[in-house]
Every structure is written in C-alpha cells, then in structure tokens.
Amino acid sequence: MDITMVLCLLALGAVVGFAAGLLGIGGGMLLVPFLTMLFTWQGMPSDLVVHAAIATSMTSILFTSISSVRAHHQRGTIRWGIVAAMAPGIIVGGLLSGGAVFAALNTLWLSLFFALFVGYSGWNMLRNKKPKPSRQMPGVVGTSAAGAGIGFLSGLVGAGGGFLSVPFMVWCNVALHNAVSTSAALGFPIALANSVGYVVSGLSEGASQPGMIGFIYWPALVALVCTSVLTAPLGARMAHRLPVATLKRVFACLLFALAAYMLVKAWQTYAAG
C-alpha cells in the first residue's frame, strides 16, 4: 500500500470508529462501500474486491467493538441478558454465513443484497412506527433464533449486526439507548464467527493476492484498527447525549446513503459483465 492509501484508511477508521460507538452498528456498513472504492482504486481483482471489503470490514469490528463496549458498559446501558441469549445463535449463523454461503455469492449479488437490505433497515428506522406497548423480547429460544438470523445476514454484508439488532430490540420495546449499547456488545461474537468463516472459505480465492488471509486484507485491517479503537469511545459518549429522535434520523440517513452506493456498484458489476 502507498502512503495515500494508508492515510485514507486511517481517516476512514477514525470516522467508522466514532460511528460504531454512536450508533452501535459496528461500523461495517460504513466501511464496506468505502473499502470497495479503495480496493478498486488499488487495482484489486474485481471478482475479489467486494468479498475482501466485506471480510476486512467484519474483522475490524472485533477490535472496534471491544473499545465501544467498554464505554457503553461504564454507563450501565448494555442489556447483558439479551447478549447472552443471542450469542449462541449469532455464532452459529455467522459460521454458516461466513464459512459456507459467502464464498459462493458473486460480487453482483453481494452488492445487491447489501443495498436492498440496508435500505429496508433504514426505512424501518425512519418511519418510526411505534411497537405495541405489550411487546417484549422473546424467550431464550426465540432470542437465540433471532440472533442466528442476525449473525447470518450480517456475515453477508460485513456488518456488526446493528442495522438488524437495533431495530429488532426497539421493536421489542427495548429503549433505543439500551438497544444501541447492547448492539455494540453483540458485534464481537458476530465478527468473531464470521471472521473465522471468511478465513476458511477464502483460503483458495485469496491465495493469489498479496496481503490476503482468506478473504481478509490484513494491511488495511491494521490501518483501520489503529484509529477506530481510539474514536469508538468518543462516539459512545455522544450516543448518550443525543436525543432519541436525532439518533434515529442519523442512523436512517446513513443507511440510505450506503444502500445507494452499493446499488451503483451492483449496476456497474452487471454492466461490466
């Protein structure tokens, strides 16, 4: 990597770390489009670029989530019971996604899936539909099943699951600030399970590309983590100062912007081939 690429990754890591702490999203949804642009600019093969962006993004969440969780935990807003109930399902879903399905999907379908799912999540957050007052989190089995779905889908788009887990918890009448904090804690098992899957499933595809461990591009990973772990606690502090309505609008607008970019990427892939 040249110095320009390194500086871009350091700046991106700082922004994403702040967003991870602020919104409990792990930062993956913000990273994937920008990493796709940067890897394309660096000349990475087109059939590998989105896979590498998603896998590298997800692995960075391993480190960012730890920094973010520490800040949220100090404020006592993480619902650890929900984390414990969701984690087993998240691990199973992540291993299935990152280790089996991910490698079989081409760039077009990965880009399209990312765009549509993230856009739908943004719409649900923006319309601010109130859940029924009687609705609560499901039991252990139901919560673990929800975790499996979140872990699986997160692995396909390289995100820490906040785009699913935050709306899901809010739908179950978990307060938004608690949902954001709890989602940050869920990012670690999601990232761990999927990262293992990306390494195993990408051993043959990434072998010809320097700097790759499976689908993970480790030089970019190191640069991202250097700054993201420093700014994640700042975002977490800000999350507890902003009103709920503002948090929802920021979250939704971010999702729409990222969905739009990945739709363009899907179209470019389709047109090229």
pLDDT per residue of the chain (273 residues) written in tens, 0 to 9:
789 999 999 999 898 888 777 765 656 667 887 888 899 888 888 878 888 888 898 888 888 778 778 877 888 889 999 999 999 998 898 888 777 677 676 667 777 777 787 787 777 667 766 656 677 888 889 999 999 988 888 777 666 667 678 878 888 888 878 888 888 888 888 888 888 888 887 777 766 788 888 889 999 999 998 998 888 778 777 766 767 667 667 777 777 877 787 787 677 767 766
Cα–Cα dist 187/65, whole Å: 6
| pLDDT for residue 158 | 67
Rounded Cα–Cα distance for residues 236 and 189 (Å): 19
What pLDDT does 219 receive? Answer: 92
- The whole-model pTM stands at 0.73
Question: End-to-end distance of the chain based on CA atoms, in angstroms?
Answer: 28
The structural domain count of the chain equals: 1
Three-state SS at 212:
strand
- Classify 206 as helix, strand or coil: coil
Domain span including residue 193: 3-272
Spatial distance between the Cα atoms of 202 and 199, rounded to a whole number of angstroms: 5
